[in-house]
Amino acid sequence: MTVRTRFAPSPTGYLHIGGVRTALFNWLFARKHGGQFILRIDDTDQQRNVAEALAPILSGFRWLGIDWDEGAEVGGPHGPYYQSQKSARYQDAVRQLIDKGLAYHDFATPEELKAERESAEKEKRSYLYSRKWLAETPADRARFEAEGRKSTVRLKMPRAGTCRFHDHIRGDMAIDWVSEQDHVIQRADGSCLYNLANVVDDFDMKITHVIRAEEHLSNTARQIFIAQGLGYPLPEYAHVPFVAEPGSKNKLSKRKIAQYLKNQDFKKIYEHGQNIAAVLGLTTSADTFNPVIVDFFEQVGYLPHAIVNYLLLLGWSLDDKTEFFTREEMIKSFSLERVNKAPASYDPSKLWAFQDHHMRALPLADKVERCLPFMHKAGHAADAAKVELIIRAAGDRIKVAGDILDYADFFAPDHALKYDEKAFDKRLRKAPESVRLLTAYKDRLAGIEPFDAAKLEKSVQDFVAAEGTKLEQIIHALRVAVTGKAVGFGLYEALAIVGKQGCVKRIEVALAKIGN
């Protein structure tokens, strides 16, 4: 048997990291067993679907390196891979179930159904539809239609016995059929609902393992009923735990960002991303740009592998000590049997630690390749050689690729450098001795060869000794004049990156600013 798994996102919004975790488990299982991973699009709910929302979903998976063998934009022998394109196929399945007496046309109105539910509540009994408006014959249908009623199609679920199946994560399951309602599988307008479409698609696409979020566990019995009624072989099931909110056991939601911002670790990541987005001129809001959406991490400059490595360990573990995996190690090690049943809490500080680890381990050339586009997006004519020098000097200060923007002033025109006005006031405007020293030192810069950190450090030390003053009398003024800031990586590395002519020009501009 060739293993075939699938993930079926709905194009109703941005790609949620909880969904990514489920897709990742499907992808890893398929890759480990030499099978195929299918990405199909669950767009049966046309009222909620947003066409433009599909692009960031597909882009997000590609960015994360979760590729698919068949599906949206790829095609394959078992399409269509969009549920909206399979209406006729679903209608045929509905007819088969009706013909077998496993489904029926129901002409109850919403008001009549509501009355039945309220009656059950009043009598303190479990609600079970009476099937009073069931139409089993053409004559029944004609009578109801003559009354102006419209019909849905419902499953005619068993009302005795037990549905049994095995779940790779939760073990042997048993669900009493009487607990299942007569679920609607076709709306009055003829469109079909998720439970039917899902079963038909899994059969058509030869899915062998249904690995999905635990909230779908409640769908399994009705889907087994549909599959058996249509004569389909059953796939194997595995229901993974949901990703929980930070510090909570409630399901993580992209609609509760305001609540999550009370978590200081979450807030720190969120504000860090917002600062980078502001420099890039991105239009953002907490609803569409936050650390539960993949697009956030991509635009801020996280490493996709760091995200994937972290998500792998949300509900799965190899042992009690191994945290960091290569992609190949993930595939080799993954198994459904090691997935935990309990929800896994999303920990922003842990995610940050994974990003920090993988960023530190990234080769310098790869860091340059990831950081350089951020300079270009911000409108700076940056070159790779200079970005490399900045990355070397900044070291571990660059946690995500977008952090390179903190050093955009190295690419600013010398005459247009922006200053930290508080630092400028303290270190230059109100420090006449520092200004005198800076003016005198400026003339020494032309004679420094080579213009590197080591030579610059010796030059400043020699100058201070000759002047009979302390080092701090000039270094703070020199940093503010050349970089515009009071703090940063090594001063001499910064001077070397700006270059001889740039340093001279920037000092002249700073001195002129004091005079003005």
pLDDT per residue over 488-499, tens digit each? Answer: 999 999 999 999
* pLDDT at site 286: 77
Considering 156, 254, 386, 485, which one is annotated as catalytic? 254
Among the listed ranges 273-287, 353-367, 407-421, 467-481, which one has the minimum average pLDDT value? 273-287
| Cβ 126 vs Cβ 117: under 8 Å | no
Q: Is 191 exposed, middle or buried (0-12, 13-18, 19+ CB in 10 A)?
A: middle
pLDDT of residue 48: 56
Distance between CA 362 and CA 366 in Å, rounded?
6
Angle between helices 491-498 and 384-394 (to 10 degrees): 170
pLDDT tens digits, one per residue of 89-119: 999 999 999 999 999 999 999 999 999 999 9
Give the pair of three-digit tokens for residue 389: 């020098």
Question: What number of CA atoms fall less than 13 Å from residue 187's CA on the CB side?
Answer: 10
**What span, in angstroms and rounded, lies between the C-alpha atoms of 222 and 307?**
35
Question: Closest Cα partner for 6 from 28, 31, 20, 23?
Answer: 23
pLDDT at 43: 86
Q: Is 254 a catalytic residue?
A: yes
Using a pLDDT cut of 70, give the percent of the chain over it. 98
Tell me the H-state helices in 364-425.
364-377, 384-394, 421-424
Residue 50 confidence (pLDDT) above 90: no
* pLDDT confidence tier of residue 442, bands split at 50, 70 and 90: very high
- Model confidence pTM above 0.75: yes
Report whether 19 contacts 292 (CB < 8 A): no
Is the pLDDT confidence value at 47 over 70?
no
Predicted confidence at residue 515, as pLDDT, reads 82
Phi and psi at residue 174, in whole multiples of 5°? -140, 125
- Alpha carbon distance 50, 46 (integer Å): 8
Are 399 and 306 in contact by the 8 Å Cβ rule? The answer is no
